[in-house]
Structure 1
Amino acid sequence: MTESSTIAHRAYARLTRSFIVGLLAVSGAVSATSAHAFNFYDVARRAKELSNEKFKAPTSALPRELRDLKFADYQQIQLKREKYHWADNKSPFELVFHHQGMYFDLPIKINEVDAEGVREIKYDPNDFDFGPRKPDAKALNNLGFAGFKVLYPLNNSKKPDDEIASFLGASYFRVIGKGQQYGISARGLAIDTAVPSGEEFPRFREFWVSRPANSDKHIVIYALLDSPRATGAFRFTINPGEDTTVDVKSRVYLRAPVAKLGIAPMASMFLYGSNQPTTSSNFRSELHDSDGLAFHAGNGEWLWRPLNNPRRLSTSSFGMENPKGFGLQQRGREFSRYEDIDDRYETRPSLWVEPSGNWGKGRVELIEIPTADETNDNIVAFWVPENQPKPGAALDLDYTLRFTRNEAKLQDPKLARVIQTLRSAGELKGADLIRRADGSLALMIDFTAPATARKNDPPVPVSLSFSNNGNADVMENSLRHNPVTGGWRVTLRLKVKDPTKPVEMRAALVNGQTQVSETWSYQLPANETAE
């Protein structure tokens, strides 16, 4: 298996048929007389028109022999190297197209925008290598693409085949920066996630890719989104680098009201970690693409919420006004946390959303779904506006997506931040110096040290602010200097009162009445300590 195919497997095997089937529509056309005339508002105009039309469920023409493929077989279907789009010019970018197969069984339309205008990129089965199978060419006529990926010489200027972005399945897309591997997914829009009536998965049905000039260091992609109750227009400006950023301009229309509208959604995986150790024997002590949710609220608060793999679906909401940033992060960057030389979880990017302008009142919502293995994206986060647009009215929200491994750079450098949360059985050291379990649950939270005003100033004196929701008896609540990290360690020992209910906790470092750290906000899920 090649590195590219391994990444593809990790990126797409998590999507199930239910995410996609029945949610596509036949492609609509957007015309423009020239590349100069074509812009975001051409796509927005089509999205508006679609919102006034009845949703048309698509049908699949994928032959059974390609529909029934296992993923390893699907990986063998590859675009021939000489057919890479823009491979014959000096642009640093190339496009590579995904063939339909398995549950990627409905077509998208892909257009190219250049100085001569807008042209559809036509599907031709002869452009693909199907491996050992020889499908009937007639059965593949006009089948169409399933998606595409973008190549750019990110890690080695002499190797132009670094994959930096991929669009495949519903409105999912993945992006990476230098030295990163695919992990977390972004999405165009989320509708009714974790609502009892069931989730609706909007899908990008048509793309327009602007052909970059030879000197361009960015690429612009437009997308038209459609679903039974929503349409939308998107412009993605991808800027590859150490941190790859995607500037997103979006306009969403509703055909009908929804229970929950998720803006700038992202999906990730958390199986187990230091705050929720595995109960089975495994050489990997942690296994996740993200280990926590972070946000910077409009009132200035910074918060860190470690993730869980709960026994039952869990939804957490954090209300605020005009968020300054939020995202799922992978703070554990040491290889020793994972010891996985194949999947390299320490290289998975964090995804940080930086809103443009004021987003008003709403909430950051975190959804944690039980999973038994690492092939499922069981963590979802997004922004839910307090007021959704009325059917036919536009909702304009712009933002930047930052795919990074430098989480500390995102945060206020003056504040201490959480670097790990450890969980174990609680214990006490006896007079004989032997440690014995006391029936409690223990949590250790390591904070960095708050920054001093000047480099040579003495350390900032701190104390601990801690609270919980009353569903636990706190046996210990202590704060100690950590001589190894130079920061501070909080030790909590507690006994849960009602294990069928969650325990909510908050902790922060304070100097007098001034908070000098981000807020650690943790939920011990219900039934975690039940027999």
Structure 2
Amino acid sequence: MLGAAAAHAFSLEDVTARAKALIERPYQAPVSNLPPEFSKMQFGDYQRIQPRREKFEWQDLKTPFKIGFYHQGMHFSTPVVINEIVDGRVREIKYDPEKFDFGGLSFDAQATRNLGYAGFRVLYPINREGVQDEIMSLLGASYFRVVGKGQVYGLSARGLAIDTAWKDGMAEEFPRFREFWIERPKPQDRHLVIYALMDSPRATGAFRFVLRPGEDTVLDVESRVFLRGTIHKLGVAPLTSMFLYGPNQGVRGNNFRPALHDSNGLAIHTGSGEWLWRPLNNPPMLSVSTFQVTNPRGFGLLQRGHEFHRYEDLADRYDLRPSAWVEPKGDWGSGKVELVEIPTPDETNDNIVAFWTPDVLPPQGQPMRHDYRIHWTLNEPALLSREVGWVKQTIRTDGEVRQANLIRHLDGSTALLVDFEGPVLAKLPPGVPVRADVSVSDNAELIENVLQPNPAIQGWRLTLRVKVKDPSRAVELRAALAEGNRVLTETWSYQLPPRAPSGS
């Protein structure tokens, strides 16, 4: 019997059983165990606390993966339990202050005696042989970030989103990972398996992550979620990012950076096969956009355009921040992709959220299963079908007309320049009658629609000029290029946000 017990392999079913057990008893909110010197810590001081490289977990093993821990502090006020799985056996990795360099911070050593880990990071020699680079970070609520070769951290993913931007004044609920199990990899393994137990007032969940580092790092996710309370809007595979400004919104003030964002658009591959591209905005007021998508084939927040001149930022390297593309496995059923855009005055706030939300939620006690793969990539064209062209950029500017004396005159309209590119466009024979199928919502008048070749990119430029009727309401525009009955490109789906009321 002892031998049979030892042979049991830890699996997602074990975590799922724990998640189901949690919903059968009242939710217990985590309680802070931080002493004042840690709870009142400023961000700069928290950053001084770093894991000692010589104390990384598995440092003396031949596996290429290493684990470093995050210390508690600031709003990371409650510890998470972190376990290691070796040959099916589970052992807790106990907190040890010797694993950290506290950067000269002064505090009573006894103050850390009963503290713990706030999360962990995964290291792997992804850029140079023998040099450990951080490739995944799990810290705070159910957030995690991942990078591939040559990438730097940008947008984040989450385990689950609950009631994001549901109603004014109603707070969003942030489930948290309360316990992790990490399989110790063998020396030859080039993947890492992580399990997580999620808990919140209205949901619990079990997750299995398989991390595969590479040029594009890939994360396979299996999730089993149980509901323990009424949820108005559930976000599956949520992504969180930042968009301050870009060519479609204009540089703010006298800033040397032409664009400042972790992502510049939402891409969707619908169950019917249509490709959509929604450029992001930093709106003057909260904006929520929904796209009905049954059985999505993919969606993601992308950072299109990695040329350095687009950003000109040597410190933060926005040109190296990856896109995250969610590829569902199996049919997810009827639902919608939702985009939430929140106004922000600076780049320190994540103000963009995207997720898929099901139309029907399961009853309490029945697991909701969603399996998917997240690609973290700098090669966005590879995500698309070879038969589909894409939007290279969207430029928004004041509309103008050319007068008889050739001087351009602003006429109060808004102009949008949309560049489409891709092999399918570059290979078109000269003279092929390409057209733009354009639609504009009833809050604007389309006064110019010009499509012309753009030889600089071997693609096409669409120029639209619209006059907004009611500035307090949004304007929706859509456009795609076609030849005869053949659609050549993804659908550009753009929103001109409403203007903020005067005096606000």
One-letter amino acid matched to 1:86: W
Aligned to 1:467: 439
Q: 1:134-186: CA deviations, max 9, x gaps?
A: 32222222311000000000000131x20000000000000000000000100
2:248 is the alignment partner of 1:275: yes
The residue type paired with residue 170 of structure 1 is: A
Please tell me whether residue 344 in structure 1 is matched to residue 317 in structure 2. Answer: yes
TM-score normalised by L of structure 1: 0.91
Distance 1:350 1:53, change over 3 A: same
> Helix, strand or coil for the counterpart of 1:126?
helix
Alpha-carbon shift at residue 528 of structure 1 (Å): 6.6
CA distance in 1, matches of 2:55, 2:137: 17
From the superposition, tell whether residues 212 and 247 of structure 1 become closer, same or farther in structure 2 (CA, over 3 Å): same
Match of 1:202 among 175, 185, 196: 175
Q: Secondary structure at the match of 1:397?
A: strand
2:391–2:420 Cα contact (<8 Å) kept? yes
| Counterpart selection for 1:258 from 200, 208, 231 | 231
1:88-126 alpha-carbon deviations (Å, 9 max, x no partner): 111100000000111111110000001261000000123
Q: Which runs of 5 or more residues in structure 2 are unaligned?
A: none
Q: Quick one: distance in 2 between partners of 1:517 and 1:276?
A: 23
Q: Partners of 1:39 and 1:370 in 2: how far apart? A: 42
User: Which AA in structure 1 matches 2:332?
Assistant: W
Q: Does 1:108 align with 2:80?
A: yes
Query: In the aligned structure 2, how far is the partner of 1:238 from the partner of 1:35?
Result: 25
Which deviates further from its counterpart, 101-110 or 124-133?
A: 124-133
TM superposition shift of 1:470: 1.2
Matches within 5 A, 1:131-530: 131-159=103-131, 161-196=132-167, 197-448=170-421, 451=424, 460-527=432-499
- Residue 457 of structure 1 and its aligned partner are, at CA, apart by 5.4
Which shows bigger deviation, 418-427 or 433-442?
Answer: 433-442
Equivalent residue of 2:319, what SS?
Answer: helix
- Counterpart residue type for residue 73 of structure 2: G
Give the secondary-structure state (helix, strand or coil) at the position aligned to 1:43: helix
Percent identity for Structure 1 against Structure 2: 58
* Residue 461 (structure 1) shift: 3.2
- 2:425–2:459 contact (8 Å) kept in structure 1: no
Q: Give yes or no for contact 2:433–2:483 (8 Å, CA) kept in 1.
A: yes
Aligned partner letter, 1:154: I
> How many residues were matched structurally?
498
State whether residues 257 and 390 of structure 1, in contact with CA within 8 Å, keep that contact through their aligned partners in structure 2. no
d(CA) in 2 for partners of 1:72 and 1:459? Answer: 60
Amino acid at match of 2:154: G
User: d(CA) in 2 for partners of 1:402 and 1:162?
Assistant: 18
CA distance in 2, matches of 1:408, 1:79: 37
Tell whether 2:41 aligns with 1:69: yes
Q: Helix, strand or coil for the counterpart of 2:301?
A: strand
1:118 to 85, 90, 96: 90
- Look up the equivalent residue of 1:523 and give its one-letter code: Q
Cα 1:77–1:33, aligned 2, differ >3 Å: closer, same or farther?
Answer: farther
Does the 8 Å contact 2:56/2:99 carry over to 1?
no
How far apart, in 2, do the equivalents of 1:148 and 1:503 lie? 44
Distance 1:374 1:501 in 2: 26
**SS across alignment from 2:199:** strand
Question: Is the CA contact 1:124–1:142 (under 8 Å) kept in the aligned structure 2?
Answer: no
Deviates more, 1:469-478 or 1:379-388: 469-478
Cα distance in structure 2, aligned partners of 1:367 and 1:265: 11
1:451 is paired with a residue of what secondary structure?
helix
Name the structure 2 match of 1:92.
64
Q: Does 2:44 align with 1:42?
A: no
Corresponding residue number in structure 2 for 1:56: 28
Q: TM-score, normalised by structure 2?
A: 0.96
